[in-house]
Amino acid sequence: MGRAFDLIASFDLKGGRHMVATSFHYDPYSIEAMRNPQPLYRVLREDHPAYYMPDYDSWAFSRFEDCWAILNDSVNFSTAEGEMFAREQLLQHNAGPPRAHRLDPMDIFLNIDPPVHTKFRQVTAAPFLKGNVNKLADDIRQITRRRLDTLIERGEFDFHRDFAGYVGACTMCMITGMALDEAEHVASLVHQGMEREPDTPGFTERGRQFLGQIYGKIGELLRRRRAGESPPNRLLDALINTDMLGRPLTDADIMPQVNSIIVGGVESLPKVITGGIALLEQLPDQLAAIRADLDARIAPAFEEMLRLCAPAQWFGRTVARDVEVGGVALRPGQRVLMLLASSNRDPREFDGPEEFRWNRNPRRLISFGMGAHFCIGIHVARMEGQIMLREFLERVERWTCLRDQGHWAVSEFQIGWTSLPIRIEARR
């Protein structure tokens, strides 16, 4: 399954099945796909835009338009089986549509379809609305500046672990009601929880233990809030007080939801900004252009980082009804993988897609999903990312990425820098 050769790919086009012999092979759990997927994605986009994987009875879509269509269709495509499939899950083929999502206890909200998913987002929307997120900006800016004060004195630090991951964890602490002095520990738990064994897909038992400690922290937050021992918190109060399921939510319902928000905020955004800094080190003309007008150019530059450096390889859906995408007939029960990291480099959507252009201003972006399951934290991510990028560029004249000392995550899920030491020269 890991070799890039010898496949007979089966395509069901317009309802008629025929066989296409090809030497190309794509498996999302192969070493090639987890380490360096872009060469595979280029071949998929050009030659196999709807790629059938017979072992999994699943399809991989690599072009932007097809992925956009699936993400925006919550009628024909379901998240009830999850957005990230384990290989063992795909080896078990479905005979029909997926079962309904689990509500007792409530599954993670990412795995729940509308209308329940819609109700959940309405209940939890307040802390993530743009206006409320902007109220955090001054606090995040001060945290960022204080952190840089400490790090710049060293002359060398890990951009992801010492800086971006820390600021991301501080933001999640503020949103969930944790004390800020927990931020470094939370960041460490998330990073260790998400680590994979080399070239092996899926969570490790050690990783699950670290993530379990985050559940313990969330449980204590809920206990204290229910007992009135902690101040009001928009997110926790909304979850504690809702009856969206026709009953109050239990801790078992709430903990997975809060955990997913914490992990997303601590793990995803830092990979984006770290990847962007690694790119800018090698693009002096782009860096100079951004610095020429930070007020106007930080926001579009960060959008380009979101396009090129967003860590999610793919999101999955299960086909709920007979439907056609990209000229391919899909059956209920089949799974589809939307290769986001491929879509963001699709030349049909982006001119010169492999290039970083600070002023690209794309009309559509797929990095954080789209449709009913569009990332609930997108405004938080943009606010944090823009603040970190601006403060770093204002304080640091130049930097060298010590790539050979860093760590690039190898995963079927999220790839990107999880450790990137840099040597800096401060601005005078």
CA dihedral of 103, 110, 159, 291, whole degrees rounded to 10 = -140
- In 3D space, the residue among 317, 360, 378, 368 whose CA is nearest the CA of residue 341 turns out to be 368
- In 3D space, the residue among 150, 154, 160 whose CA is nearest the CA of residue 190 turns out to be 160
Q: Distances from the Cα of 333 to the Cαs of 77, 98, 313, in angstroms?
A: 10, 6, 22
pLDDT at 20 over 70: no
Provide DSSP, 301-346.
HHHHHHHHH--B--EEEEE-S-EEETTEEE-TT-EEEE-HHHHTT-
Banded pLDDT at 313 (limits 50, 70, 90): very high
Of residues 130 and 208, more confidence is placed in: 130
Percent of the chain's residues with pLDDT above 90:
81
pTM recorded for the entire structure: 0.90
DSSP character at residue 351: S
| Pair 199, 31: CB distance under 8 Å | yes
Percent of the chain's residues with pLDDT above 70:
94
| Pair 154, 424: CB distance under 8 Å | no
On the 0-12 / 13-18 / 19+ scale of CB atoms within 10 A, 264 is buried
* Distance from C-alpha of 286 to C-alpha of 291, rounded to nearest angstrom: 9
What are the chain's domains?
7-426 (1.10.630.10)
pLDDT at 198 over 90: no
pLDDT at 195 over 50: yes
pLDDT of residue 22: 60
CA dihedral of 260, 369, 310, 410, whole degrees rounded to 10 = 60
- In 3D space, the residue among 416, 373, 385, 428 whose CA is nearest the CA of residue 117 turns out to be 373
Peptide bond between residue 248 and the one before it cis (omega within 30 degrees of 0): no
